[in-house]
Each structure stands twice: as structure tokens, then as C-alpha cells.
Chains A and B, each alone.
Chain A
């Protein structure tokens, strides 16, 4: 009788302990996985090898010396991506020749469908100063990791779509991260943010 109570008591205590540990693990897991808390690496510390829509190899080290404006997307996306590309085209036009010094890159999160040729056809519709990047998925993932961005392939109606970080990243000429233009941010703040990395 006494032994059974002891066993029950021990069982209850260990269950409570397991629950506490589990809760702690669950909470810390969520904390660790929250990418919002992490800033993108400086470009000089990023490591990936992609190809631009003109067929030239691109490494992050190539970007040092010019301010960079970079964002993720894919050409199968009907809403967010053309909207962002058309806004960026508008900003580049408003900046005029100043924007020639800016390295503006669109990194596909869907290299499976976005080949070099697909990117070239797509980007022909936007400001010619936007460079498209594609390559093996593993290299795209290395770029995503460097930016502390996130992508996820989501099955959809027998096909798939890509969830992806929607903000526009800005880096100074020396490669240091400067700021993000958030997707839902008031667009009036975009140009001043870009001008800040151009100075």
C-alpha cells in the first residue's frame, strides 16, 4: 500500500518534471527558431555561389564596394513579387542615375522553375538595373541563411507555392547590414532608407 503510494507519488513527480522540461524545451525551441531576432550577416561573411540572369557567376564578395538592395521572390508568384518588383523599379526610377551605384538583386526562392532564361524573360518587364539570381537549391538556401531569411515550399492543389521573406534588405557599400523595407511599411519611408545606404 505504502509502496504503491510511493510509486504513484514518484510517477506524478516525474510526470510534472517531464512536463516542465518539455515546456522549457518547447519555449526555448520557439525562441531559437525565431529569425526576427537575428540580423542578416554582413555581405562579407555570406557564402554562396549563384548565377545571374545574364549567365554570369555571382558571389557575395562581388557586391562589396557598392550598396546592395536585395530581396527574395519567385516568378510564379502572382501577387507579392510583381508588386515588389514594380515598386523597386519605381524607386530606382525616382533615384535616377544615383541608383546606378546600387547593386539591386532579386534572388529566386524557386530555382526549380526559375532558370536563368525564365528570370531573364521576367525581369525584362522591370527596371534593367535589377539583377536576377538563381542556382542550385543548396546555394539559394545558403543565401537565405546568410540573410537570416526564410523560405518554405508549400504543396498547393497538386502544385506548390513558396512562402518567403517579403522585405527588401539594404546593405552599405562595405557590406554591413543597414535596414529592411518591410512589406507593409509605408512606402514613403523606402526612398529615404535607400538614400541612406547611397551616401
Chain B
């Protein structure tokens, strides 16, 4: 069933550079959703996204879900005294009028228990749950293991 959803979404992959697609949910704009290819399905995958809050009240990302992984969770890479660790993030604040980047070296979605290898060019859906705005499904493009982000015209 999960692989069916994945293949159905893969069929849509003719659309070029999906990671540049923009999604909106109320006052929130969600863009640059991407992931990195994995070697096999044993290792965790990663999920990055950029969220802009155009409204006047703070919101927070409180959870992610995806058919691509059994145990997706929010993490933050923290480097203290040169030591990198990866604590859980209970939620990620998206303050009013600001953009929060989940990007390499900071907040990220950790996709534990991948249902299949993430190959470059694959697309999979991730449901983002916000404290106030509710839920939105975004399409995530798998870039190469070496990618540092999607190459969009509007990327900054």
C-alpha cells in the first residue's frame, strides 16, 4: 500500500524541480521541500523545508507524517563545544512575519524506518501539522546525497 502511494507519486515526477513548488495553508507558505537520496532503507532519511508565517500570530510545526517512513520525527542538529548531537525537537516555532528554514546543520525531519530506499528523483508526500494552522501535505523531492538544497530561481 505504501509502495503504491510512492509509485503513484513517482508517476507524477515528470514535473520538473518539484522541490520548488509552493504550498499554502492559511497564513503559512511552505516551499523548498526536499530530501536526500539514501543508500538502502536501513539508514534514516532526512527532510528539509522552508516555512514562512505571513500572519500576525505565531505558529509552530508540531509534527510530521509520511508514508515513506514508519517513524518520522523532528530533530535539531546542535553543535556544542565542537560536538554535534541531534536532540529531538518537540516543536519548531514559526514566529509571525518570519521564515523558518529546516536546512542542513539545523532543524530537520529525521525519517526513521524508511519503507523504501529514497532514490534521487523520487517524490514522496509529507504531512506537516501546525499548532494553529492545522495540516498540509507537501510533495518532497529526493535530491542527490550530495545536494545542499534545491536549485530554485527564487532560492535565496
When distances are taken between beta carbons in the complex, the residues of chain A under 8 Å from B145 are 82, 86, 125-126
Closest CB-CB distance, A182 to chain B, in whole Å?
7
Residue among A34, A75, A77, A183 making CB contact with B39, cutoff 8 Å: A75
Shortest Cβ distance from residue A22 to the other chain B in the assembled complex, whole angstroms: 24
Number of A positions contacting B (CB below 8 A): 35
> Is the C-beta of A56 less than 8 angstroms from some C-beta in chain B?
no
* Segment touching A, from B40-48, B49-57, B60-68: B40-48
A183 x B36 contact (CB < 8 A): no
C-alpha gap A83/B46 in the complex (Å): 11
Question: Which residues of B42-99 have CB atoms within 8 Å of chain A's CB atoms?
Answer: 43-46, 71, 73, 75, 77, 79, 81-86
CB contacts (< 8 Å) of B43 on chain A: these are 75-76, 78
Q: How large is the interface on B (under 10, 10 to 19, 20 to 34, 35 or more residues)?
A: 20 to 34
**Which residues on B sit within 8 Å (CB–CB) of A121?**
39
On whether the beta carbons of B110 and A184 are closer than 8 Å, the reply is: no
- List A residues at the B interface (Cβ < 8 Å): 34-36, 75-80, 82-83, 85-87, 89, 118, 121-122, 125-126, 150, 152, 154, 157, 159, 161, 163-167, 180, 182-184
New contact pairs (16) apart from A79-B46, A86-B147, A126-B145, CB-CB < 8 Å: A34-B81, A35-B81, A75-B43, A77-B86, A78-B44, A78-B108, A79-B104, A82-B46, A118-B39, A125-B145, A150-B83, A157-B71, A165-B83, A183-B82, A183-B84, A184-B79
